């Protein structure tokens, strides 16, 4: 059975890339969100198996949005997908309870590996 993915990113390009990369895999994108606020609202409605979360976005950033989702849904599986490839960012993601971190630019293998780990 396919895994239901909710993609959160304010970049249309990244949303399209993720869609292309996951096409034909066992991961099905069931929702796209452009902001942290949107993600928090949509999570309840969509109940995805996994969320990919950008960090730098207008308004609420992805770290705060992930923290909020995890507060409301401790079992949420969130993988950060960001160009903020720094130790303190990785550390913070881990602290709030994100299940993984994929650096941008990403490749299919990295993404799938992170998804598998997050869902295991």
Among the listed ranges 27-35, 39-47, 57-65, 102-110, the one in contact with Mg ion (CB under 5 A) is 57-65
Residue 61 binds Mg ion, judged by CB under 5 A: no
Residue 113 CB neighbour total at 10 angstroms = 13
Q: Exposed (0-12), middle (13-18) or buried (19+): which is 85, by Cβ within 10 Å?
A: exposed
When computed from its CA atoms, the radius of gyration of the chain, rounded to whole angstroms, is 13
Quick one: 49 or 54, whose CB is closer to Mg ion? 54
Q: Number of residues interacting with Mg ion: please give it, by CB under 5 A.
A: 4
Quick one: 96 or 119, whose CB is closer to Mg ion? 96
Residue 54 binds Mg ion, judged by CB under 5 A: yes
Do residues 6 and 48 touch, judged by C-beta distance below 8 A? yes
The least CB distance from residue 45 to Mg ion, in Å, is 22
The least CB distance from residue 39 to Mg ion, in Å, is 12
Sketch the per residue contact string, 1 through 30, with Mg ion: x for CB under 5 A, - otherwise.
---------x--------------------
What SS3 state is found at 22?
helix
What residues form DSSP beta bridges with 27?
3
Residue 38 binds Mg ion, judged by CB under 5 A: no
Distance CA(66)–CA(77), nearest Å, equals 9
Site of interaction with Mg ion (CB under 5 A): 10, 54, 56-57
């Amino acid at each position: 059975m396919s895994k239901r993915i909710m993609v959160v990113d304010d970049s249309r390009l990244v949303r399209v890339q993720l869609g292309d990369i996951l096409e034909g895999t066992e991961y099905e994108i069931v929702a796209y969100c452009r902001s942290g606020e949107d993600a928090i609202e949509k999570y309840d409605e969509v109940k995805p198996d996994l969320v990919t979360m950008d960090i730098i976005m207008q308004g609420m950033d992805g770290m705060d949005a992930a923290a909020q989702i995890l507060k409301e849904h401790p079992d949420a599986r969130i993988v950060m997908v960001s160009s903020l490839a720094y130790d303190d960012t990785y550390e913070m993601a881990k602290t709030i309870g994100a299940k993984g971190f994929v650096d941008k630019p990403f490749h299919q293998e990295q993404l799938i590996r992170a998804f598998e780990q997050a869902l295991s």
